[in-house]
């Protein structure tokens, strides 16, 4: 009989813990970034045919908040545009707030925007976040952009939001479309940016769709699965302690280059990101996964093909996440050449150590499938200081965006924001799960995964997912109707 202890354990894990390999000098782990989703995966599928865009570059100011000589520097910020369905000067512009990675990756995986554009006669714009992809200051190379703290210091959320504002205003001016309403979209960190953009720049964006935005799982399938996973850590560490055990691990997992020390980390990442991407249909977002990968992981544990011992069951489970297509001849380890194919780690390490310090994502309690790992904020901040060379500001995000009481802040001063969260996504613990007003709406789906609402629709989509997307479409339509009424513009919705 299916129960909820395994998913609940992962939710607890994320509510006070986290997940990814740390940068040099940082004690513990950094918050999850999309880079680790791709770290051990086979090549992702090509984008759908509908994803067609023109690549453009905007001359962006290096520092929006100072008048020092160095602040006047510029860099080329990449953005992608599709105007196929655009209805003209008063028609909507849908903007994606770029995450911690190559913007083309998000353009290819944000199907909701592509499918909404024809209905709303909207232009699509995907803006790349500074210091990621090709949008690199100081000459356009990663090495120069992260050469030292003086160079990397311009990587902040406030600067990124100001980038979006400047680019949007310039784009509308060039299009002679100053009255065009702008709706901003984003998922995960991009969802946080979308919500913050609406809060900080309401005169520029009139609405935001913030999916799986943590601005503040596995026992659902099988108790036996939960127990095997919970007990597997002692089995793995026991095996790693002897030559015979290491040889057995290498043979069972078929590790490339025999790097068996990476196996516990591989298991941890597969469980965390498999839970985040527990989508109801097969997906190819950075790695190929079957529908409901958590269910398939537990099925592999409950009905193993490699052997009935714990290590063999775990190996079969890991195959679901890392090699579901059978394309990998062996499991690569942490030293694989494609550890960071999208150039995400330098920027996210900096952000996670300087200001995007999500303490809810650190430390592992006793009620999860993972080994307990208490979190020490003081030690973490000291490690960050050693890594970046600048003192971390662990409370700056809350101070700048009102995060200490974000619900009250939104109630008093916010409007036109959709917060979607799927409760099978561990990050939902940090999301807005209850509507705050008639225009700040929380859409919560117990069966949903990490920003599943923004993915391309498929004929296999369950009814609950179709309903969520219909709700989002209707809310956006209401925003636009009200905007055109307020601006005395003939509605573009007819």
Pairing of strands 54-61, 74-82: antiparallel
Mean pLDDT of the chain: 86
- Is it true that 54-215+399-487 and 224-323 share their CATH fold? no
Return the domain boundaries, the chain: 54-215+399-487, 224-323, 346-394
Looking at residue 389, the DSSP 8-state letter turns out to be S
For residue range 227-280, what is the model confidence (pLDDT) as tens digits? Answer: 999 899 999 999 999 999 999 999 999 988 768 999 998 898 888 888 888 889
Whole-number pLDDT of residue 27: 42
- Whole-angstrom Cα distance, residue 368 to residue 174? 53
Residue 224's nearest CA partner among 319, 308, 280, 293 is 308
For residue range 332-354, list pLDDT tens digits in order: 776 554 567 777 889 999 999 99
The fold adopted by the segment(s) 54-215+399-487 is Rossmann fold (3.40.50)
User: pTM for the full model?
Assistant: 0.87
Tokens 């909701």 map to which residue? 112
Residue 36 pLDDT exceeds 80: no
By three-state DSSP, how is residue 26 classified?
coil
Highest mean pLDDT among 14-18, 27-31, 142-146: 142-146
**Number of helices (H) and strands (E), helices first, in the chain?**
18, 8
pLDDT-derived band at 367, boundaries 50, 70, 90 = low
Give just the sign of the alpha carbon dihedral 297, 303, 306, 311.
Answer: positive
Q: Is the pLDDT of residue 7 over 50?
A: no
pLDDT at 3 > cutoff 50 = no
* Topology given in CATH for the domain delimited by 224-323: 1.20.120
Displacement of CA 334 from its chain's centroid (Å) = 21
HEC profile of 37-84: HHCCCCCCCCCCCCCCCEEEEEEEECCCCCCCHHHHCEEEEEEEEECC
Strand pairing class (123-127; 74-82): antiparallel
Where does the pLDDT of residue 470 fall: very low under 50, low under 70, confident under 90, or very high at 90 and above? Answer: very high
Catalytic residue list: 188, 425, 450
Residue 64 has pLDDT above 50, yes or no: yes
What secondary structure letter does DSSP report for 251? Answer: H
pLDDT at 25: 46
Contact 179, 489 (CB under 8 A): yes
Q: Quick check: 364 and 116 in contact, CB under 8 A?
A: no
């Amino acid at each position: 009989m299916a129960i909820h202890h395994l998913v609940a354990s992962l939710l607890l894990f994320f509510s006070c813990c986290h997940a990814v390999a740390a940068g040099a000098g940082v004690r513990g782990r950094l918050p999850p970034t999309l880079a680790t989703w791709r770290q051990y995966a086979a090549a992702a599928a090509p984008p759908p045919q509908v994803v067609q865009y023109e690549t453009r570059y905007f001359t962006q100011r290096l520092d929006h908040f100072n008048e020092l000589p160095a602040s006047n520097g510029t860099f080329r910020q990449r953005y992608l545009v599709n105007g196929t369905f655009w209805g003209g000067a008063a028609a909507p512009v849908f903007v994606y707030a770029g995450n911690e990675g190559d913007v083309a990756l998000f353009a290819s995986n944000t199907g909701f925007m592509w499918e909404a554009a024809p209905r709303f006669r909207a232009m699509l714009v995907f803006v790349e976040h500074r210091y990621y992809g090709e949008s690199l200051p100081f000459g356009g190379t990663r090495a120069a952009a992260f050469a030292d703290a003086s160079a990397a210091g311009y990587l902040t959320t406030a600067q990124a939001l100001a980038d979006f504002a400047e680019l949007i205003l310039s784009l509308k001016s060039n299009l002679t479309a100053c009255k065009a309403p702008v709706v901003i979209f984003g998922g995960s960190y991009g969802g946080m940016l979308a919500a913050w953009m609406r809060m900080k720049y309401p005169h520029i964006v009139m609405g935001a769709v913030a999916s799986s935005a943590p601005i503040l799982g596995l026992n659902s399938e099988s108790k036996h699965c939960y127990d095997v996973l919970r007990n597997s850590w002692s089995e793995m560490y026991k095996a790693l302690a002897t030559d015979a055990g290491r040889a057995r691990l290498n043979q069972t997992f078929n590790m490339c280059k025999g790097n068996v020390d990476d196996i516990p980390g591989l298991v941890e990442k597969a469980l965390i990101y498999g839970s985040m991407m527990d989508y109801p249909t097969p997906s190819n977002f950075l790695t190929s996964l079957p529908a409901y990968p958590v269910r398939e992981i537990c099925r592999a544990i409950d009905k193993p093909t490699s052997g009935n011992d714990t290590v063999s069951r775990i190996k079969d489970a890991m195959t679901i996440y890392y090699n579901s297509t059978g394309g990998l001849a062996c499991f690569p380890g942490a030293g694989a050449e494609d550890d960071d194919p999208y150039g995400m780690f330098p920027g996210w390490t900096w952000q996670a150590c300087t200001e995007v310090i999500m303490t809810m994502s650190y430390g592992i309690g006793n009620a999860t499938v993972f080994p307990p790992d208490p979190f020490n904020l003081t030690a973490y901040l000291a490690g960050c200081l050693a890594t970046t060379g600048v003192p971390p500001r662990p409370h700056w995000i809350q101070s700048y965006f009102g995060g200490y009481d974000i619900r009250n802040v939104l109630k008093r001063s916010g409007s036109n924001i959709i917060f979607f969260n799927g409760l099978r996504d561990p990050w939902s613990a940090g999301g807005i799960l209850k509507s705050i007003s008639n225009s700040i709406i929380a859409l919560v789906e117990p069966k949903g995964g990490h920003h599943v609402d923004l993915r391309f629709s498929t004929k296999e989509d369950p009814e609950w997912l179709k309903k969520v997307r219909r709700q989002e479409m209707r809310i956006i339509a209401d925003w636009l109707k009200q905007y055109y009424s307020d601006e005395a513009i003939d509605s573009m919705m007819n």
